[in-house]
Amino acid sequence: MEVLAFGVQADEKPLIERAFAGRHGVRCLDVFLTEDTAPIAAGREAVVTSVNCDLGARVLRTLAAGGTRMVAQRSTGFNNIDLDVARELGLTVARVSSYSPYSVAEFAWTLAMAVNRRVVRAANRTRDFDFRLHGLLGRDLHGRTAGVLGTGRIGTAFTRIAHGFGMNLLGWDVQQNPACLDLGMKYVDKDELLAASDLVSLHVPLLPATHHLLDAAALKAMKDDAVLVNSSRGGLVDTDALVVELRAGRFTGVGLDVYEAEAGLFFLDKSLEGVGDDTLARLMTFPNVLVTSHQAYYTVDAVSEIVATTVRNVDDYAEGRRGENVLVPSADGTA
């Protein structure tokens, strides 16, 4: 079977080509799947996509009209896919249900420590041989409180690291995780967690119920000197409301690996043309804000696992099996 992979980073290409070798033919493209690029997939039974590809109704209809029958998304999130339309068209849709939780949890802590200890500002100064300490004052995390919104596999990995720092642990989730309870986590409602936490980290999926989980009211409930980290999905935070709070001088630091309007920006080189997104541009002006381009998952361990699962999903479809990662089964229900 011939497979077309969209939005493939240079580091990912050899991993994908090796994984598919001897199983299916694969062509890797660095462009993302959009209404403009969807016709390229004509004649390819399966396409492999990333979280920043557009899999809305118009794109799915174009794919189906061109003969595509299977979409394999190489991410856990699938909020970019119109599953109802995929079902209507008889397209099989699969995702990567899980991969190394340590990649994201460790990067969330990288962001937290970087903004708490002013690492980027310090590095920029020393590069110019400015060795002053003014403005670089951070805080010990030992003895302070970490609030973890979402205590699944990634949230639990984040919690273990917080426990290693000697922090007090607060959690919020639809159900309590025994592994987190064993670490001393206390589950509380969201408002109590936000009001009491010195560090708040988001580890929940983006669903209609979690969209703008941190809205204007929630952000105002946080401590003025809190650290906020989002390495999950951009839509969990109301970015305009966050800018308002930052302009008011609140928060010790904010680390964002995701942004709610990142599609069409992240993973692309915009250095020569600039960015017309005023909200993102405003975020970049705050010295206590660090934005990275959705790279928390980007370790050789996690990407290799993602690719291996994606190949397995394509194999399942090709052999008529309905795998555990299927979001929308084939029209006959076998895959």
Task: Name the residues annotated as catalytic.
Answer: 233, 262, 294
Helix (H) or strand (E) segment spanning residue 171? strand 168-172
CA-nearest of 215, 287, 276, 277 to 251 is 287
Tokens standing for residue 172: 């919020």
Q: Where are any strands of DSSP class E within 205-321?
A: 227-230, 253-256, 289-291
Distance (Å, whole) CA 247 – CA 214: 17
Task: Write the burial class of residue 19 (CB in 10 Å: 0-12 exposed, 13-18 middle, 19+ buried).
Answer: buried
Judge contact between 255 and 112, C-beta under 8 A. yes
Task: In whole angstroms, give the CA distance from residue 159 to residue 257.
Answer: 18
Do you know the residue count of the chain? 335
Rounded to 5 degrees, φ, ψ at 195 are -70, -25
